[in-house]
């Protein structure tokens, strides 16, 4: 039984109260936190096989070791988030091993294969930047103490992943030729993928429990803009084209394509020419998951079932 009503708890966290244990939570707060942490944990977890399968394309042993260091961080981040979920009465075993692959809550972008070194480093430059944007907002604003403290370490490590991505994007752009073409090709599909990742625009967004409970501080559109504020100038500086421009009139980055729009996962191409689609269609695509969903989930579970069989 919660010690406060939902309204009392919302008012308290608005005034800066930090929640430390499940006893202080209302059911609404607990549920909103479980959803947030599940997305966070699943995203960290699935990024590991996505990055691992791409790391084999590393141009040298030492670069592959850097990529593997990032993967190790991601698995630790996943473990932190699942561990926090256990404090809320959710089973890590069930989440990691007993869900169908399509029930995982990571973004659709992490269901896509990363098939060369350029795609891996753009994932570090774009997806890890999205992770930092989302998690640093949570770090600054969350009313849940244990998560706030855990994010100190995660934020520092995400900064390393991002630097790895940006440094390599710069190297590939400078190298020119095929390296630069691969970089541009990766940006072409991964830029709109990350823009979509931030979800429904604010004018369509239903009421957000995560904002009311101070589980985060920024809206979807604010987060999307913060990501573009960093990403568009980076690409411009490298001479890499992105479908967005700064608008003096609105004082923000605006997209040069219909948003949201269709995606051809096999060709890795956004179908800009087919025009704007509804968010319902986007949600249907997300729910259907992308091409690597089952393989990524299975790749993490495989060793466990094999080892269990050996030991029996």
Interface residues toward Fe ion, by CB under 5 A:
44, 74, 77, 128, 158, 161
Query: Residue 159 CB, nearest distance to Fe ion (Å)?
Result: 9
Query: Residue 158 CB, nearest distance to Fe ion (Å)?
Result: 5
CA gap 232, 243 in Å, rounded: 9
DSSP letters, 77-89, are HHHHHHHHHHHTT
Of the two residues 25 and 122, which places its CB atom closer to Fe ion in the complex? Answer: 122
Query: Residue 197 CB, nearest distance to Fe ion (Å)?
Result: 14
Sole residue written with tokens 């509804």: 278
Of the two residues 68 and 236, which places its CB atom closer to Fe ion in the complex? Answer: 68
Question: Which helix or strand (DSSP H or E) is residue 53 part of?
Answer: helix 27-55
Of the two residues 25 and 297, which places its CB atom closer to Fe ion in the complex? Answer: 297
CA gap 289, 266 in Å, rounded: 13
CA gap 259, 263 in Å, rounded: 11
Of the two residues 128 and 166, which places its CB atom closer to Fe ion in the complex? Answer: 128
Of the two residues 40 and 184, which places its CB atom closer to Fe ion in the complex? Answer: 40
CA gap 47, 124 in Å, rounded: 10
Torsion of CA 266, 225, 74, 111, to 10 degrees: -20
Query: Residue 78 CB, nearest distance to Fe ion (Å)?
Result: 8
Query: Residue 234 CB, nearest distance to Fe ion (Å)?
Result: 17
Of the two residues 70 and 187, which places its CB atom closer to Fe ion in the complex? Answer: 70
Query: Residue 94 CB, nearest distance to Fe ion (Å)?
Result: 22
Distance of CA 1 to the CA centre of its chain: 34
Residues 196 and 112 sit within 8 Å (Cβ to Cβ): no
Grouping H, G, I as helix, E, B as strand and the rest as coil, residue 142 is coil
């Amino acid at each position: 039984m919660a010690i406060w009503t939902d309204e009392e708890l919302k008012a308290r966290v608005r005034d800066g109260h930090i929640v430390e244990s499940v006893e202080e939570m209302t059911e609404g707060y607990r549920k909103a936190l479980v959803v947030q942490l599940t997305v966070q944990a699943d995203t960290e977890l699935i990024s590991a096989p996505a990055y691992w399968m791409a790391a084999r394309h590393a141009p040298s042993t030492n670069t592959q070791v850097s990529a593997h260091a990032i993967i190790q961080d991601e698995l630790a981040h996943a473990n932190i988030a699942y561990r926090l979920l256990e404090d809320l009465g959710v089973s890590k075993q069930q989440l990691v091993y007993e869900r169908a692959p399509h029930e995982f809550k990571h973004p659709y972008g992490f269901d896509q294969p990363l098939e060369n070194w350029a795609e891996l480093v753009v994932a570090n430059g774009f997806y890890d930047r999205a992770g930092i944007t989302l998690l640093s907002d949570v770090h600054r604003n969350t009313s849940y103490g244990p998560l706030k403290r855990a994010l100190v370490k995660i934020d520092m490590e995400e900064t390393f992943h991002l630097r790895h991505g940006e440094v390599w994007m710069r190297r590939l752009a400078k190298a020119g030729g095929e390296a630069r073409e691969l970089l541009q090709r990766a940006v072409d599909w991964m830029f709109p993928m990350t823009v979509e990742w931030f979800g429904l625009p604010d004018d369509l967004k239903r009421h957000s429990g995560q904002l009311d409970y101070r589980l985060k501080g920024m809206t979807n559109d604010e987060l999307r803009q913060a990501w573009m504020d960093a990403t568009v100038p980076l690409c411009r500086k490298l001479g890499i084209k992105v479908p967005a421009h700064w608008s003096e009139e609105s004082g923000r980055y605006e997209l040069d394509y219909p948003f949201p729009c269709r995606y051809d996962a096999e060709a890795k191409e956004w179908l800009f020419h087919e025009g704007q689609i509804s968010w319902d269609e986007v949600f249907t695509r997300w729910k259907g998951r992308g091409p690597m969903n089952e393989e990524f989930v299975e790749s993490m579970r495989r060793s466990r079932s094999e080892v269990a069989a050996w030991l029996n």
